[in-house]
Structure 1
């Protein structure tokens, strides 16, 4: 958690410095609040990570004596081949074609096709050659 804690700590410090500078240069309230709350959010996350990191053993990334092989693990399962990303991309094309042509019915057809293509992609490994 060390790296993450330092990243969010830097965000907190950066916005702590930038917020008053922004206010004195622009005299705008809304942007000042947004920058201030962004800094507070970064500080809150950094504090959470600092407190949580104490309650468990450090990860291999956080130890200086760690070996690369300690962090290795299962990457995951990837489909050897799949037609569903193509159909999902085609569906998105049809959905965005509707507003481009000012025809809402095209988008509705695309949403209908989208239900089919997203269901096929999600349920790909429940039927056919690669079912589990």
Structure 2
């Protein structure tokens, strides 16, 4: 996680000076003058979280500068190859975006469909009382 922490923390060094320069060049235009430093704060919070997380977990092969590709081989997690639930969530998201253009009444079925899809995706492999 060290490379991710560095990537986001370097974003602070970019967004704060750019926000200052933007504020000076735009004569204090309020949206960009406030928004760009806020993005710097957001990437700082993400980078800080990744830095704290990097201290708690073991180093990964990506963190070793002299590491080989073979060090990352093996099981990377559990993925469901035949799951239809991401398609349901994508349909709900598309209906939600259509609601922005057509009408807010479409947001209710989009939210309901998204909740059903998310619950279905999370509990797809749960069978029985203590199944995982």
TM-score (norm. length: structure 1): 0.55
1:27: Cα distance to partner?
A: 2.6
Tell which has more relative contact order, 1 or 2 (C-alpha 8 A, sep 6+).
Answer: 2
Q: Which entry has the higher C-alpha Rg, 1 or 2?
A: 1
TM-score (norm. length: structure 2): 0.55
Alpha-carbon distance change, 34 to 115 in structure 1, aligned in 2, over 3 angstroms = closer
**Residue 27 (structure 1) aligns with:** 27
5+ residue gaps in structure 2? none
**Residue 18 (structure 1) aligns with:** 18
5+ residue gaps in structure 1? none
Distance, in Å, in 1 between the alignment partners of 2:56 and 2:113 is 48
RMSD between superposed Cα atoms in Å: 4.3
Alpha-carbon distance change, 70 to 97 in structure 1, aligned in 2, over 3 angstroms = closer
Instruction: State how many pairs are aligned.
Output: 128
